[in-house]
Amino acid sequence: MSFSIIHLADLHFGGVADVAQIEAVEALLPDLEPEAIVIAGDITQRARHGEFLRARALVRELERTAPVFILPGNHDVQWWWRPFLPFGSGRKYEKYRQYFGPQLTPTFDLPDAVITGVLTSHGVTWGSLTPRLRDIAIKGHLPKKEVLRAKAVFAHARPDQVRILVLHHNVLRGELSQRMGLARWKQAQREIVDAGPEIVLCGHDHQELTDDLHGVVIACTGTLSTRTRGGRPPVFSRVVVEEDAIHVEYYRWAPEHRVFKRSDRFQFARTLKRNPARDVEEISAQKS
């Protein structure tokens, strides 16, 4: 098998978006022939109608190449609506839903892969608060019910399907920022691994980083905007899954040519190819 996904995040339509980069992505992606395209949140800068409109135009264009999976990042949520109140929190996502439909965390059941998302962008909630005031509305948090839903999706994945989890906030500590994307990150890491994905796709930190976490390949992609970290070039990722290996490669922006060029590539053995959740189900089915 060979299954490939384009992984974008943090486009931030609005003041920091770069039209040349967006148009270069639109031109290049059909040639890469991906089976799916993932946008891991922060498609807008301030959740404004004009930003969502442009984001939707991009998604419609990319859908001509492959199905596009998208979920909201912290910038796409109108977090100033009813912070801390348990009721009426749906208002925060009203604009996002107006442009991308009711489902905040879709599930794609593809011939070679099952892709599902967990919502970590909840605006200002008790679960996302940390002692640092500047974290307000920026840190994500991973509710238990989100993890359980993803786990149930993966438990029903066919043995030949790659299990891919998408979330906005970075699961690994940013190299330059030295920051984790999620509040209570150790617990979140444990729960993410326990949900049973083979690959996790995230963004938020604006710096790309790929590593192995207990056998799960965690791919944090960088930003497609002018707001890069440490003056590094904007970047997007391509994840290629083969029978026994997972490859993550970065396409970095070359401003002199106004194109994205393929650069470094990381390879991992598929240690979690067998579906652990499904194994548990099969064992309990045999016992009963």
Q: Could you say whether residue 76 binds Fe ion (CB under 5 A)?
A: no
Size of the site for Fe ion (CB under 5 A): 4
The dihedrals phi and psi of 165, each to the nearest 5 degrees, come to -110, 135
Beta bridge partner(s), residue 245: 269
Q: Could you say whether residue 205 binds Fe ion (CB under 5 A)?
A: no
Which of 5, 13, 29, 42 is the binder for Fe ion (CB under 5 A)?
42
User: What is the smallest separation between the CB atom of 204 and Fe ion, expressed in angstroms?
Assistant: 4
Which of 204, 260, 268, 275 is the binder for Fe ion (CB under 5 A)?
204
Which of 73, 174, 196, 234 is the binder for Fe ion (CB under 5 A)?
73
Q: Which residue is nearest to Fe ion (CB)?
A: 204
Beta bridge partner(s), residue 209: 220
Write the single-letter amino acid at 110: L
Q: What whole-number distance in Å separates Cα of residue 10 and Cα of residue 203?
A: 7
Q: What whole-number distance in Å separates Cα of residue 66 and Cα of residue 61?
A: 10
Q: Could you say whether residue 170 binds Fe ion (CB under 5 A)?
A: no
Cβ proximity to Fe ion, 4 vs 237, nearer residue: 237
Name the pairing type of β-strands 235-242 and 36-39: unpaired
Stretch that binds Fe ion, among 30-38, 200-208, 219-227, 272-280 (CB under 5 A): 200-208
Cβ proximity to Fe ion, 112 vs 135, nearer residue: 135
3-class secondary-structure state, position 158? coil
Q: Which residue has the tokens 């002018």?
A: 226
DSSP percent split of the chain into helix, strand, coil, nearest 5:
30, 25, 45
Cβ proximity to Fe ion, 184 vs 227, nearer residue: 227
Q: Could you say whether residue 191 binds Fe ion (CB under 5 A)?
A: no
* Residues at the site binding Fe ion, with contacts judged by CB under 5 A: 42, 73-74, 204
